[in-house]
A and B are shown apart, each in its own frame.
Chain A
Amino acid sequence: MEALFYIFSIIAIFSALMVISVKNPLTSALYIILCFFALAGFYILLNMQFLAAMQILVYAGAIAVIIVLAIMLLNLAKTKGAIKDFHQLVIGIIAVGLLFLEVILYIDAAGEKKPTGIYTNAIINKVGNTQIIGEFLFTKYVFPFEVASILLLVAVIGAYIFAKK
C-alpha cells in the first residue's frame, strides 16, 4: 500500500509538473490525463472505487477529450506556449512557494481529530460505496443534484452560444 502511494505520488507530481512546463498544449493535455489516472489510483487507495471510476470516465474520458478536441480544432498544437517572461516565473514561484509553505504549516498545525462519522471502511465495503453515494445523492443532496444538472444544461447551451459564430 505504501509503495503504491509513493508511486502514485511521484507519477501525479511529475505529470503535473510536465503539464505546466511543456511547450505544446497537446502534450500538456496528455500529461494531465496521466495525472488524472494517478489521482484515480489515490481514490482506490482511499477505498473510493466509484470516485476513481468517475475520475477516469469524466475527467480523463470526457474533459480531457474535449480539450484535445479543442486543441486540434483550433490547430493549436504548434502554438508557442513557452515561458518567456523570466521575471514572471520568479515572482510566480515565490508566491506559490509562500502559498505552499502556509498550507503545509496549516496541515501541520491542525493536529489530531477524532473521526465523527459512521462510514468506516468496513461499512462502506459492506454496503458498497456506489450505493451509499447514490442514496445520498437522491435523498439528502437531491436539491444540489438537480441544480447541478441544470448547471450542466446551461453550460451546454452556453458553450454552444459561445462557439457559434
Chain B
Amino acid sequence: MNINVNDYLIVATIIFCIGALGVLIRKNLITIFLSLELMFNAANLGFVAVSEYLNLMSGDIFVIFIMVVAAAEAAILLGIAIAFYREKGTIDIDKANELKM
C-alpha cells in the first residue's frame, strides 16, 4: 500500500480537529494556545503534503511564513497571558468577559 497525499491530509485533518476541539472545550488560556498551535501545525502539514504532491515550492515557503506568524503570536499571546494573570489572578478564559457591552 502506497502512502499518498490523501493520507497526509487525513492525518492533518485529525490533528486540526483535535486542536479545534481543544479550543472549544478547554478553559485554560495556555492549553487553548497549545491547541491553536496544533491547528497551525496541521495546516502546515497539509501545505507541505500538497506542495510535494503537485511538485510546487510555494506551500513550503508558506509554512515558513506561518512559523513566523506563530512565533510572533506566541510572543504576543504569552505577553497577554502574563498581563491577564496579573489582572485577574487566573488564566481561566471565562473570566475574560469584558467585551460585553
Give A residues with C-beta under 8 Å from B.
1-2, 5, 9, 12-13, 16-17, 19-20, 25, 28-29, 32, 35-36, 39, 42-43, 45-48, 51, 54-55, 58-59, 62-63, 66-67, 70-71, 73-74, 76, 79, 81, 83, 85, 88-89, 91-93, 95-97, 99-100, 103-104, 107-108, 113, 115-121, 129, 132-133, 136-137, 141, 144, 148-149, 151-152, 154-156, 158-163, 165
Q: Report the 5 A-B pairs with minimum CB-CB distance, sorted nearest first.
A: A162-B79, A20-B22, A155-B72, A81-B28, A92-B24
Total A-B pairs, Cβ < 8 A:
219
User: Knowing that A2-B3, A107-B9, A148-B68 are A-B contacts, what are 18 other residue pairs whose CB atoms are under 8 Å apart, sorted by A's residue number?
Assistant: A32-B38, A46-B48, A59-B37, A66-B75, A66-B78, A67-B78, A85-B25, A95-B20, A99-B17, A104-B10, A116-B54, A116-B56, A117-B57, A120-B55, A132-B57, A133-B57, A159-B76, A165-B86
- Whether B11 pairs with A19 at a CB distance below 8 angstroms is no
- Whether A156 pairs with B75 at a CB distance below 8 angstroms is yes
**Distance in angstroms between the alpha carbons of A139 and B41 in the assembled complex:** 26
Chain B residues near A63: list those with CB within 8 A.
37, 70-71, 74
Chain B residues near A159: list those with CB within 8 A.
75-76, 78-79
- Whether B60 pairs with A42 at a CB distance below 8 angstroms is no
**Residue B64 CB within 8 A of the other chain:** yes
- Whether A107 pairs with B10 at a CB distance below 8 angstroms is yes
- Whether B22 pairs with A19 at a CB distance below 8 angstroms is yes
**13 A-B Cβ contacts within 8 A?**
A19-B34, A20-B31, A28-B31, A46-B48, A59-B37, A67-B30, A113-B54, A117-B55, A117-B57, A118-B55, A136-B58, A148-B65, A162-B79
